[in-house]
C-alpha cells in the first residue's frame, strides 16, 4: 500500500467512526440543506438520473429532483440510513475516490456533491473517478464552503447550531478550477449562494434578493462542470436564414455559403416582406440545384418565430442562424461549426465587439447598448457572453430539443429569438462559448430593428430573466 493510500484509508476510517453514530440534523442544518436542494433543483431536469456522492442520512437526496436516484457513502451506517430514507434509491458503500469506471449507458445525468469536496482526502482523485463514470452530457454539481465563513462556522459548532464535522478542506475557487482541469473536467458556471443559512422571518426573501448582489460574502460556492470532450465529431449542418425585405442578399448568401461538416442544408424562412424576397428565394433555389435549399413562409411575426419554425423543420444535427443582411459574413460560419464539432462548446455565440467593424456597421449608441447588455447578461447567465445581440447562434438539435421542452419555465417572451436560446442554454448548463466575427456594413436594404422600441423591450427581458435565473 502506498503512503497516500494509507492516508486515505485513515481519513475514511475517521469519517466512518464519526458518522457511524448517525447524523442528527439540527434545524440550522436542515435549513441549509433545504437551500442547497433548491439551488441544485434549479439545475436538474425533472426526468434526469441523479447520483449523489456522500449521501449522508439521505436528507438532501430525498429533496432532489430526478426520475432515478442513486448514490454512495463511505460509512455503512449512513448507507443503511439513506437507503431507508430515499425509497427506491440504490446506495452503495464506497468512497467516491474509489468508484470504478462505468459505461455511458450506466452513467448518470448529474453527479451531486454537497460539501463532499470539503471532506475528501484527495479531491483530484474524486473528480477523476467521477470523470470515468460520466457520459458526454453528464454534469457534476457540487458546492464547497467559502473560507471567509470559517470563524463563524467554528463558533456555530461550539454553540450547537451546527453539527460537528471531521477535519475540513478549505478550498478556494482558484483551487477548485485547477483540480477540475487536472481531472479532465471543465467549469461551465459557478455562483455563490446562501447568505443566511438559518431560517427566520424574511430569510427566504433576503437570500433570494441579497445573495446574488453580495456573492463574495455568501456561505457556499455552487459549481457546475462538464466532462472535457476528448474526440472530435463530424456532423451535418442546417443554416436557417430568416429573411424579411432582403431580396438583394438572397443570392449572395448562397454564393458565399461555405462547405461544412458532412452536409449543409440551407433553410430560408420568409417573414412577410414588402419587396420581392419570396420570389427571389424561389428563383435562387432553382438557379442553384447543387445546394440543398428549402424555403418556407412563417405564419407568425418576428425573427424569433422564424427561427423556431426553421428549427422545427431542420434535418441536420447542428443548427445555425445566419441573418439575411449578411453583416455577419457567411464565410465565418465554419468557426462556429468547429466550436461544436471539436466539443469546445455546446452553444456558440457570435461576437461583433472584438475585431474592428466597418464604418457604418453599428451606430455608437447601439455599440454602447451592446456593451451594457453584455455585462448584464454575463452576470445573469453565469458565463461570459460578450455580445448577446449578435444574430448568429449555433447549437445542436438535441440541445434545442431540450430548450424547447423547458421553454415553459421562461414562457414565450422573446420576439428576437436570441434570449430564448441564451436563457434556455444557461438553464440547461450548456457550455456557452463566444466566437468573434468581423461585423460588416449592410449592402442592401435597411435594418428591421427599432433601437428605441426594441431597447426598452431588452430592458424588460433583462429584469424578467433576473427573476428566473438569479434571484431564486
87 and 148 in one domain? yes
Torsion angle (degrees, nearest 10) of CA 371, 372, 376, 382: 10
Residue 3: what pLDDT?
A: 46
Whether 21 and 105 share a structural domain: yes
Q: Which residue has the higher pLDDT, 12 or 123?
A: 123
Condensed to tens digits (0 to 9), the pLDDT of residues 335-375 reads 999 999 999 999 999 998 888 877 665 667 777 777 888 88
Mean pLDDT in residue range 276-302? 95
Whether 389 maps to a domain, the answer reads yes
For residue 133, what is the DSSP state?
T
Are 10 and 37 within one domain? Answer: yes
Q: Tell me phi and psi for residue 380, to 5 degrees.
A: -65, -45
Q: At what angle do helices 418-427 and 397-405 cross, to 10 degrees?
A: 90
Instruction: Give strand ranges (E) for 195-341.
Output: 220-227, 237-243, 264-270, 292-297, 318-321
Residues in the chain: 472
Residues 152 and 260 in one domain: no
Q: Model-level pTM?
A: 0.89
Report the pLDDT averaged over residues 105-110. Answer: 92
Please check whether residue 365 lies inside any domain of the structure: yes
Look-up of cell digits 457604418: 360
Query: Do residues 326 and 440 lie in contact, with contact meaning Cβ atoms separated by under 8 Å?
Result: yes
Q: Give a yes or no: residue 357 inside a domain.
A: yes
Q: Label the pairing between strands 292-297 and 237-243.
A: unpaired
Query: What is the band of 16 on the pLDDT scale with cuts at 50, 70, 90?
Result: confident
Instruction: Enumerate long-range contacts of 63-70, CB under 8 Å, 24 or more apart.
Output: 63/33, 63/34, 63/37, 64/37, 64/40, 64/112, 65/41, 66/109, 66/110, 68/108, 70/108
Domain shared by 147 and 92, yes or no: yes
CB distance 141 to 111 below 8 Å: yes
Whether residue 61 is contained in a domain is answered as yes
**Cβ(445)–Cβ(248) below 8 Å:** yes
Residue 386's pLDDT band (boundaries 50, 70, 90)?
A: confident
Q: Is residue 14 part of a domain?
A: yes
Rounded to whole angstroms, how far apart are CA atoms 197 and 270? 53
pLDDT band at 13, cuts 50/70/90?
confident
The three state secondary structure string of 45-56 is: CCCCEEEEECCC
User: Same domain for 355 and 431?
Assistant: yes
Residues 6+ apart with CB under 8 A from 255: none
**Residue 272 placed within a domain:** yes
| pLDDT score at 14 | 83
Query: In the 8-state DSSP scheme, what is residue 408?
Result: G
* Residue 232, in any domain of the structure: no
Is 48:109 a contact under the CB 8 Å cutoff?
yes
Pairing of strands 393-396, 347-351: antiparallel
Q: Is the pLDDT of residue 237 over 90?
A: yes
Q: Which residue in this structure is represented by grid cell 472584438? A: 354
- 104 and 247 share one domain: no
Domain boundary among 227, 255, 282: 227
Q: 294 falls in which pLDDT band (50, 70, 90)? A: very high
Of the three residues 201, 227, 253, the one that is the final residue of a domain is 227
Report residue 302's pLDDT band, with 50, 70 and 90 as the boundaries: confident
Q: Which of 153, 131, 125, 138 is nearest to 220 (CA)?
A: 153
What does the DSSP 8-state code read for residue 218? -
Between CA 266 and CA 245 the distance in angstroms is 18
Q: 273: helix, coil or strand?
A: coil
Starting at the earlier edge strand, list the strands of the sheet with 49-53: 90-93, 68-73, 49-53, 110-114, 139-145, 220-227, 185-193
Looking at residues 159-171, what average pLDDT do you find?
79
Whether 171 and 316 share a structural domain: no
- Split at pLDDT 50, 70, 90, the class of 4 is low
The residue-averaged pLDDT of 18-40 equals: 80
Q: Which of 227, 247, 272 is at the close of a domain?
A: 227
* β-strands 292-297, 264-270 pairing: parallel
Question: Which residue, among 285, 326, 272, 287, has the nearest Cα to 437 in the 3D structure?
Answer: 326
Residues 218-242 have a mean pLDDT of 95
At residue 24, the pLDDT reads: 54
Are 293 and 381 within one domain?
yes
CA distances from 198 to 126, 194, 472 (A): 30, 9, 17
Straight-line distance from the first to the last Cα atom of the chain, in angstroms, rounded to the nearest whole number: 48
Return d(Cα 215, Cα 228) in angstroms, integer: 27
User: Between the CA atoms of 316, 321, 325 and 328, what dihedral angle is there, to the nearest 10 degrees?
Assistant: -110
Q: How many CB atoms lie within 10 A of CB 122?
A: 19
206 in the same domain as 74 = yes
Strand, helix or coil at 460?
helix
Split into its structural domains, the chain has a count of 2
Q: What is the CATH number of the domain that holds 46?
A: 3.40.50.150
Task: State the virtual CA torsion across 362, 365, 370, 376 in degrees, nearest 10.
Answer: 180
Domain that holds residue 406: 237-469
| CATH number of the domain where residue 364 is located | 3.90.550.10
346 in a structural domain: yes
Output the nine-digit C-alpha cell for 207: 437570500
Claim to verify: residue 289 and residue 222 sit in the same structural domain: no
On whether both 55 and 199 belong to a single domain, the answer is yes
| Pairwise pLDDT comparison (366 vs 159), residue with the higher score | 159
Give the mean pLDDT of the chain: 90
Residue 144 φ/ψ region, left for φ over 0, alpha for ψ in the -120 to 50 degree band, beta for the rest? beta
Contact 165, 115 (CB under 8 A): no
Give dist(CA 213, CA 471) in Å, integer: 9
Amino acid at each position: 500500500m502506498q503512503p497516500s493510500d494509507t492516508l486515505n484509508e485513515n481519513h475514511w476510517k475517521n469519517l466512518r467512526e464519526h458518522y457511524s453514530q448517525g447524523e442528527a440534523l439540527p434545524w440550522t442544518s436542515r435549513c441549509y440543506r433545504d437551500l442547497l436542494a433548491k439551488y441544485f433543483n434549479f439545475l436538474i431536469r425533472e426526468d434526469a438520473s441523479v447520483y449523489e456522492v456522500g449521501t449522508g442520512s439521505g436528507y438532501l437526496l430525498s429533496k432532489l429532483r430526478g426520475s432515478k436516484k442513486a448514490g454512495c457513502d463511505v460509512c455503512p451506517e449512513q448507507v443503511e440510513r439513506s437507503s431507508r430514507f430515499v425509497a427506491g434509491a440504490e446506495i452503495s458503500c464506497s468512497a467516491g475516490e474509489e468508484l470504478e469506471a462505468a459505461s455511458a449507458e450506466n452513467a448518470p445525468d448529474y453527479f451531486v456533491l454537497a460539501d463532499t469536496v470539503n471532506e475528501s482526502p484527495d479531491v483530484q482523485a474524486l473528480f477523476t473517478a467521477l470523470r470515468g463514470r460520466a457520459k458526454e452530457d453528464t454534469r457534476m454539481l457540487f458546492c464547497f464552503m467559502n473560507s471567509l465563513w470559517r470563524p463563524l462556522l467554528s463558533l456555530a459548532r461550539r454553540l450547537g447550531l451546527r453539527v460537528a464535522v471531521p477535519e475540513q478542506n478549505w478550498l478556494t475557487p482558484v483551487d477548485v478550477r485547477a483540480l477540475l482541469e487536472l481531472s479532465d473536467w471543465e467549469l461551465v458556471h459557478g455562483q455563490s449562494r446562501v447568505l443566511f443559512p438559518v431560517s427566520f422571518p424574511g430569510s427566504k426573501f433576503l437570500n433570494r434578493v441579497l445573495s446574488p448582489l453580495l456573492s463574495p460574502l455568501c456561505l457556499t460556492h455552487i459549481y457546475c462542470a462538464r466532462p472535457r470532450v476528448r474526440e472530435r465529431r463530424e456532423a451535418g449542418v442546417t443554416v436557417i436564414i430568416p429573411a424579411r425585405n432582403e431580396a438583394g442578399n438572397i443570392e449572395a448568401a448562397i454564393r458565399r455559403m461555405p462547405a461544412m461538416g458532412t452536409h449543409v442544408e440551407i433553410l430560408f424562412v420568409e417573414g412577410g416582406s414588402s419587396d420581392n424576397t419570396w420570389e427571389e428565394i424561389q428563383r435562387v433555389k432553382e438557379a442553384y440545384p447543387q445546394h440543398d435549399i428549402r424555403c418556407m413562409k412563417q405564419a407568425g411575426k418576428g425573427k424569433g418565430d422564424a427561427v423556431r419554425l426553421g428549427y422545427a423543420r431542420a434535418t441536420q444535427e447542428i443548427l445555425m442562424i445566419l441573418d439575411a443582411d449578411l453583416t455577419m459574413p457567411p464565410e465565418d460560419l465554419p468557426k462556429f461549426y468547429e466550436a461544436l464539432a471539436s466539443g469546445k462548446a455546446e452553444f456558440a455565440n457570435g461576437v461583433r465587439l472584438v475585431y474592428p467593424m466597418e464604418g457604418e456597421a453599428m451606430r455608437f449608441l447601439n455599440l454602447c447598448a451592446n456593451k451594457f447588455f453584455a455585462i448584464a447578461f454575463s452576470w445573469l447567465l453565469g458565463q461570459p457572453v460578450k455580445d448577446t445581440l449578435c444574430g448568429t447562434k449555433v447549437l445542436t438539435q438535441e440541445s434545442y430539443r431540450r430548450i424547447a421542452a423547458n421553454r415553459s419555465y421562461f414562457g414565450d417572451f422573446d420576439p428576437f429569438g436570441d434570449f430564448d436560446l441564451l436563457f434556455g442554454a444557461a438553464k440547461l448548463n450548456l457550455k456557452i462559448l463566444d466566437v468573434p466575427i468581423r461585423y460588416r456594413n449592410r449592402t442592401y436594404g435597411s435594418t428591421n430593428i427599432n433601437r428605441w422600441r426594441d431597447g426598452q423591450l431588452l430592458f424588460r427581458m433583462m429584469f424578467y430573466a433576473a427573476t428566473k435565473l438569479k434571484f431564486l
